[in-house]
Amino acid sequence: MYLVFAMELHFHKYQGTGNDFIILDNRDLQFPKDDTNLVARLCDRRFGIGADGLLLLEDDSSSDFNMVYFNSDGNLGSMCGNGGRCLVAFANSLGLVEGKVHFMASDGLHEATIAGEQVSLKMSDVSKINKKKKAFFLNTGSPHHVQLVNDLNNFEVVKEGRRLRFGVYGEKGSNINFVEQLSPDTFMVRTYERGVEDETYSCGTGVTAVALAMHYAEKTESTEITIRTKGGNLSVRFTAGQKGYKDVFLEGPATFVYKGTVEW
């Protein structure tokens, strides 16, 4: 006879311009981070809570907290911009931070400020942008392909995104961003995200990549750019120099959706 003991998992759900996340307070280190199937099941939109990814808030000796991010397929992910902003909002709700924040992520130390639901997150510096035949490639904490297209609203993002993600970048892959310019300092973007293997409503590192790539391509002279996603608007501001881009900030809303308990 086998006894199965269910454990309760308390979670919070947040979203940043439609990019949604399950967030867990894992300061007691009880969550089984090596259980890929559990993470994928929790993120499943039919059989679980449903999310683009899962975030753990953990203690860190050199900053306010440590961020651990999993893609919805259950695997550890690279930096997630909207996830970072949502985790800052969650930490603020716990009373761990207020105003200015410093936290550790997979690509190093980040700083952020929070005022209400608005979170401004400093992203990694970008020193290199590769120009491809019809696109640009850069790493903003996660790898991104940025490609200008016409009639973005009717573009086959999933079909073409999957083709490029696997066909050009292999199994490790890249996120794929399709872009249309709306005005001198405003762009619309739709993103196919690796790890989710689908289009998401928004991607923070992708939005950042688009802003920098469009400035690099001389499509805009502005160093403060508005990006429209399916889930809402984000802004990216930066300083451009001979050695690349620094003081890169991603700003927008990070919103609490609901909280609950599941058994696992």
* CATH number of the domain bearing residue 174: 3.10.310.10
Report yes or no on 3 lying in a domain: no
- Which is nearest to 120 in space by CA: 210, 244, 247, 30? 247
* 168 and 68 both lie in a single domain: no
* 245 and 134 both lie in a single domain: yes
- Which is nearest to 21 in space by CA: 66, 79, 67, 86? 86
* 194 and 218 both lie in a single domain: yes
> Rounded to two decimals, what is the model's pTM?
0.95
State the average pLDDT for the chain: 96
Report yes or no on 82 lying in a domain: yes
The rounded Cα 116 to chain-centroid distance in angstroms is 20
Report yes or no on 1 lying in a domain: no
* 13 and 114 both lie in a single domain: yes
For the segment 235-245, the average pLDDT, to the nearest whole number, is: 96
Q: Please, are residues 109 and 123 in contact by the beta-carbon 8 Å criterion? A: no
The domain tally of the chain equals 2
Residue 264 binned pLDDT confidence (cut-offs 50, 70, 90): confident
H-run or E-run covering 103? strand 100-105
H-run or E-run covering 25? strand 19-25
Under DSSP, the state recorded for 95 is T
* 81 and 118 both lie in a single domain: yes
* 118 and 142 both lie in a single domain: no
pLDDT tens digits along 107-136: 999 999 999 999 999 999 999 999 999 999
- Which is nearest to 240 in space by CA: 259, 214, 262? 214
Structural domain range at position 54: 8-123+254-263
Report yes or no on 155 lying in a domain: yes
* 135 and 107 both lie in a single domain: no
* 97 and 164 both lie in a single domain: no
* 38 and 141 both lie in a single domain: no
pLDDT at 6: 67
Q: What positions carry a catalytic annotation?
A: 80, 203
pLDDT tens digits along 35-56: 999 999 999 999 999 999 999 9
Which residue bears the tokens 């454990």?
Answer: 7
pLDDT tens digits along 155-172: 999 999 999 999 999 999
Report yes or no on 2 lying in a domain: no
Report yes or no on 25 lying in a domain: yes
* 171 and 135 both lie in a single domain: yes
Report yes or no on 62 lying in a domain: yes
